[in-house]
Amino acid sequence: MTSHLGVTLLLAVLLLLGGISLSARATTEQDVGAMLPDGPGSPREAARLLGEFGVLNTLLIDVELPGATQEQLAARGAALAAGLRASGEFLEVYTGPSAQEVMQVGKVLFPRRLYLFDDPAREIEGRLEPKRLQPALAKLRARLGSLQALVTKGDLLLDPLDLDADLVAGLAQQAGDVHASDGQLFSKDGRHLLLVTTPARTALDARASKSLLATVASEAAKLAPGPSGRPVVKAVGGPRFAAESAGAVRSDILITLLTSLGGLIVLFAVRFRSLRLLLLASVPIGFGMVGGLTAVVLAQGHIHALTFAFGSVLIGVGIDYPLYLLNAASVQAGDSLERMSAGLDATWRSLWLGFSTTFIAFLTMSLSQFPSLRELALFAGGGILTSFAVTLILLVPLAAVFGPRRWLGIPRWMPALRIRNVRPWVACGVSVAILGAAAFLAPQLRFDGELRHLDAQRPETLGEFEQVMDRFGIRRADTLVVARGHTPQEALLLNDAVESALRRLPESGTSSATFSLGALLPAVATQQARAAKLAALDLSSARSRLSAAAVEAGFSARAFDAFWEEVSAVREEKVAPLTPADFEHTSLEPLLKRMLSCSAEECIAVTSVDPRGKDELDALASSLPAGAVLLNANALARNTVARIPRQMALLTGLGLLLNVVLLTLAYRSLRLAVLACLPGCLGLAGTMAILSAVHAPLNIVSATALVLILGCGVDYGIFALQGLASPSTVSGVEATGVLLTSLTALAGFGTLVLASYRALQSLGAAVGLGIIISATSALLLLPGIFWVLRPRLATPARAS
Amino acid sequence: MPLVTLTGLLATLALLASPSAAPQPTEALPQDLVPLRESLQRTKKLSARFTQTRHLAALQGALTTEGTLEYEKGGRLVWRTLPPAESELVLAGQKVTISYPGMGGAQTIDFSSDPGMGRVFETIRAVLQADLEELQPLFKLSVTRREPLSLSLLPRKPELARTLRSIQLDFDRQLRLVHVGLTEPDGDSTEIAFRDHVVQTAAP
């Protein structure tokens, strides 16, 4: 016996170490988008792009200096920026374009400004209209009188039609309500200053994000006070959300661990009076975690952080098998080995059935088209399989050697559990009522696919974020239009068609704020087409009209010859069109790199749109040219992520069907199979009915919990049915098993409802409800229904 | 402020401030200019009205603007052009702010991030304040008239000569700047006449 145990333990430890070393090689994925299907135009790409254009890896810092002038505020902003740069924790601290940077961009854009107008000939004709031309010339004359005109004369005379001012205004409009001055960015009222920072580490690195926020706070504390008080510095964006979420999750995990542990200790103390058994019962869970991780690593080499976190919770259900076994063993006679062997004999069939039904539930989940669900199924399936195998192989010898020397006798309360207080017609009525309520309410259950609703954003943090975004008129990049091409120029050409389509929208009354690359960098083909349009301009007529107006305004007839030389040069394609290379080493280069990117397969150009509602979104979608794709965060949630809960519901239904088939084969009775599945069904139906009644939507996490409810509920049904069809010699032992496992599940999962992290909260609520309803159904309703639905020819012996 | 104005201004000024236009080793100040230097050194504050007349080939006639100049030694210099061509240029410490009140918008340029630009604006300030110490490295100074004093400034470097052909500074008998004449290489010129001086001097 001892040598057999030694070999078994040695093998188990070797396997465990092997699994751990293999798991250590796994890379952990943290991007939520990685949970979605991948490929060009896929939801994952959409989520990635929306994430890139959002504020995940950006920390916006809003500085206010009460009672100060803009100049004083700028000084504090510059000091804060210098401190943050010196900290080394930021990749970039952007304060605003310096005069030199503006000049550099001007040097690139202004010589080719005519390429930036959709129809330069029409633009020139329009500006030659007297009502526009006269004010433009008067303004120009006034500017020539300024001191600085001593050196700007040449540039001023190049722009008689005031093209540059409108071009600059158009570009500035795209930047929102941020006002650049003094190399800094100010709010419209000039009372707030904005620093746009990019952390050196990803915002998802919660520790780095926390340190980043501490640095901002410490540098802010060094700022000198203003006339009416201390500077007010607010940091908002991805790093703050990440740091706060991580803090909330840490505290959630601690609370859940402590409550679960406390619950388990109480349960084991009450039922077994032995903490040794608690330690032994935990062994299969530990193996299950390593087994699940090994399965995922062997299959794909990496694991998503959410899969690991959520899967570990799912594997927690693996303690049910040791509990059923120890509970059955405790009522047996003899020493530990004899008790465990007898307990294993008593529960062998139900354990296998319980494991098989749960495993089938995870198998059906692996049929999902969503990588996240497949990965979760692999992890949880591998984990459950391992913990079940360890329960059967290792727990008996371990308990025999390390188990209690004296086992607690049968508690007095155990036989009482067998008493059926609920009459059959009441049990049937309640069951029908639950199913009826579910049939009525479940169709109204909402599916929330918004991934951002899963985290632990505090309302105040979100409020501050919204406030800063509104104050500086920063657009939410919730909607993007992606134009694809084999080359950058192909993508830009399609992007120009997108811009043109979007520009037509305001004419139809559905105006959108847009930020398009086309405003800065049209495709070369577009620029050439625009130059060709200039051929339509009657140059001599236009020139003579301007000359006449110029003379009338006090200019000489040939004052604007340089302007017409520019027009002629563009017409004759003597001016090289703008290309991405022109913006290299300018302040616009980072923006361009984000909006125009190429992979080995293709290039994409992205336009950011801010539609005002669903109608406008639909109008946008219908107006886009072929090949351009509209990505909207809400639509992505609605159309893609929300499919996960729906798919989970379908897969759970399929799992239930397979469970019925398996149990029918095992029991050789459809009625018994249905009876075994009934608590799980009632748990599922009741949970959905209640969630619908209280208007709580199902999300990706709580929907996945449906599998768990089904798995646990069917297990309760199997063991409760065993107690009814082939009861143990000791009354209430099976019911006690159900009670123990449901209470441990509640201690483990139900307490998650106290979490501040909304993903955990929703999981706790759904699983808690499901466990309570299915366990209550198994203990109170199933006996009554059993006497109504039991097979007429079935005997206890047959069922066992 | 339109970008083009800023661009042109900065482009030219940056050119002026390029390393090749850096101050040259100073020559000894001509003896005739010593009284002027001493007078300027005593000036603590000055304000004056000006009339600027520009003769540009692009314009049919002269373009005349009126305004005021104020400066404080070691402090702000404010060049304010009155309507209809209203604008204001404020040079203070390490910053210049240019605004067009009638047209909206202002642009401040910080010299701390652009030291070259700072040198350029110091040159403008030097011309308006007739600051000989600053001007001498950039221009060849010659006295064209001793009483009342008149100076001619010729750029020492070709980069500067591309923007300015010559500068004429005329003073009254109290050694107050009363006229600045700027001639550009293309023949355009600017005459600035100062009057109504209010000078606050330090005790000798």
Residues of A with CB under 8 A from a CB of B: 71, 74, 98-100, 102-103, 106-107, 110, 139, 141-159, 164-165, 168, 181-183, 551, 554-556, 559-560
Domain ranges for chain A, please list them. 1-30+272-408, 54-96+183-251, 112-179+524-577, 423-449+642-800, 471-522+582-632
Q: In terms of residues, how long is chain A?
A: 800
* Minimum Cα–Cα distance from A562: chain B residue: B58
Q: Tell me how far apart the alpha carbons of residues A716 and A739 are, in angstroms, rounded to a whole number.
A: 9
Section A549-559 average pLDDT: 88
Domains A1-30+272-408 and A471-522+582-632 fall in the same CATH topology: no
Q: Contact A676/A718 with Cβ under 8 angstroms?
A: yes
Question: Tokens in use for B54?
Answer: 């520009």
Per-residue pLDDT for A236 more than 70? yes
DSSP conformation letters of A165-177: HHHHHHHHHHTTT
If one compares A231 and A179, the residue with the highest pLDDT of the two is A231
Contacts of A554 in chain B (CB under 8 A): 59-61, 63
Pick A443 or A637 by higher pLDDT.
A443
Please report, as a single letter, which amino acid is at residue A43: P
In this complex, is the C-beta atom of B199 within 8 Å of any C-beta atom belonging to chain A? no
3-state secondary structure at position A191 = coil
A709-759 pLDDT, tens digit per residue, is 888 899 999 988 888 877 666 667 788 888 888 888 888 777 777 777 777
Separation in Å, CA A797 to CA A354, A561, A667, A678, A714: 19, 109, 11, 22, 21
pLDDT at residue A302 above 90? no
Q: Closest-CA residue in chain B for A547?
A: B58
Cβ atoms A659, A677 nearer than 8 A: yes
pLDDT for the residue numbered A654: 86
The answer on pLDDT for A419 being more than 60 is no
User: Contacts for A497-505 with beta carbons within 8 Å, 24 or more apart?
Assistant: A497/A625, A497/A628, A498/A607, A498/A624, A498/A625, A498/A628, A499/A607, A500/A118, A501/A623, A501/A624, A501/A625, A501/A628, A502/A607, A502/A609, A502/A620, A502/A623, A503/A118, A504/A623, A505/A616, A505/A619, A505/A620, A505/A623
> Which of A146, A168, A181, A552 is most worth mutating to test chain B (most B CB atoms within 10 A of its CB)?
A146
Cα maximum dimension of chain B? 48
Q: Are strands A179-181 and A184-186 parallel, antiparallel or unpaired?
A: antiparallel
Q: Which residue would you say has higher pLDDT here, A210 or A146? A: A210
With CB atoms and an 8 Å threshold, state whether A155 touches B65.
no
User: Which amino acid appears at position A97 of this protein?
Assistant: P
* Higher-confidence position of A169 and A138: A138
pLDDT at B7 over 50: no
Using pLDDT thresholds of 50, 70 and 90, give the confidence band for residue A31: low
Run of H or E including A130 = helix A130-144
Give per-residue pLDDT as tens, A344-356.
888 888 899 989 9
Please give the C-alpha separations between residue A184 and each of A63, A122, B118, B119, in angstroms, as whole numbers.
11, 36, 18, 22
Q: Closest approach of chain A CAs to the CA of B129, in angstroms? A: 14
The per-residue pLDDT for B101 is 65
Buried b or exposed e, range A657-686, using 16+ CB within 10 angstroms: ebbbebbbebbebeebbbbbbbbbbbbbbb
* Rounded Cα distance, A605 and A270, in Å: 65
Out of A98, A103, A146, name the one closest to residue B87 (CB).
A146
A224 DSSP 8-state letter: P
pLDDT in tens, B121-155: 676 777 777 777 778 888 888 888 888 888 888 88
Token couple for A579: 């290309």
pLDDT at B6: 40
Query: How many Cβ contacts (< 8 angstroms) between chains A and B?
Result: 140
Choose between A17 and A571: higher pLDDT.
Answer: A571
Contact A183 B110 (CB under 8 A): yes
Q: Taking 60 as the threshold, does the pLDDT of residue A11 lie above it?
A: yes
ipTM score assigned to the predicted complex: 0.82
Q: Give how many domains chain B has, as a whole number.
A: 1
How far is the alpha carbon of B23 from chain A, nearest alpha carbon, in Å? 20
Other residues' Cβ atoms within 10 Å of the Cβ of residue A83: 17
CB–CB of A151 and B12 under 8 A?
yes
Name which of B70, B62, B107 is nearest A141 in CA terms. B62
* CATH code of B67's domain: 2.50.20.10
Q: Give me A594's structure tokens.
A: 């984000």
| Residue predicted with more confidence, A45 or A694 | A694
Q: Hey, are the CB atoms on A151 and B163 less than 8 Å from each other?
A: yes
Minimum Cα–Cα distance from A550: chain B residue: B59
How far is the C-alpha of B178 from the C-alpha of B184, rounded, in Å? 20
Which secondary structure element, helix H or strand E, spans residue A257, and what is its range? helix A238-271
Interface check B3 vs A, CB under 8 A: yes
> Rg of the Cα trace of chain B?
17
| Contact residues, B window 48-107, toward A, CB-based 8 Å cutoff | 52, 54, 56-61, 63-65, 79, 81, 84-87, 89, 95, 98, 100, 102-103, 106-107
Distance, CA of A372 to CA of A300 (rounded, Å):
12
Task: State residue A758's pLDDT score.
Answer: 72
Interatomic CA distance for residues A111 and A159, integer angstroms: 11
CB contact under 8 A, B61 and A554: yes
Does CATH number 1.10.287.610 belong to domain A1-30+272-408?
no
Give CA separation, A403 vs A8, A554, A700, in Å. 17, 107, 41
Q: Which domain holds residue B164?
A: 3-24+31-201
CATH number for the region A471-522+582-632 comes to: 3.30.70
Chain B: residue nearest A110 by CA? B4
CA atoms lying within 13 Å on the CB side of residue A223: 31
Local confidence band at A24 (pLDDT 50, 70, 90 cut-offs): low
Nearest CA-CA partner of A65 in A284, A305, A234: A234
CB contact (8 A) between residue B9 and residue A148: yes
pTM of the model: 0.62
pLDDT score, position A773? 93
CB proximity list for A265: less than 8 A, separation 6 or greater:
A275, A278
> What's the token pair of residue B4?
């083009």
For A469, the token pair is 């975004």
**pLDDT tens by residue, A75-112:** 899 899 999 999 988 888 888 777 667 777 888 888 89
CATH topology of domain A54-96+183-251: Alpha-Beta Plaits (3.30.70)
Q: What are phi and psi of B18, to 5 degrees?
A: -65, 160
Are B60 and A165 in contact (CB < 8 Å)? no
CA B91-B93-B95 angle, to 5 degrees, is: 55
- The Cα of B189 is separated from the nearest Cα of chain A by a number of Å equal to 9
| Closest to A293 in 3D by CA, of A31, A26, A12, A32 | A26
Please answer whether residues A760 and A252 qualify as being in contact, where contact means their C-beta atoms are separated by less than 8 angstroms.
Answer: yes
Find chain B residues with C-beta within 8 A of A157's C-beta. 58
- The CATH number of the structural domain formed by A423-449+642-800 is 1.20.1640.10
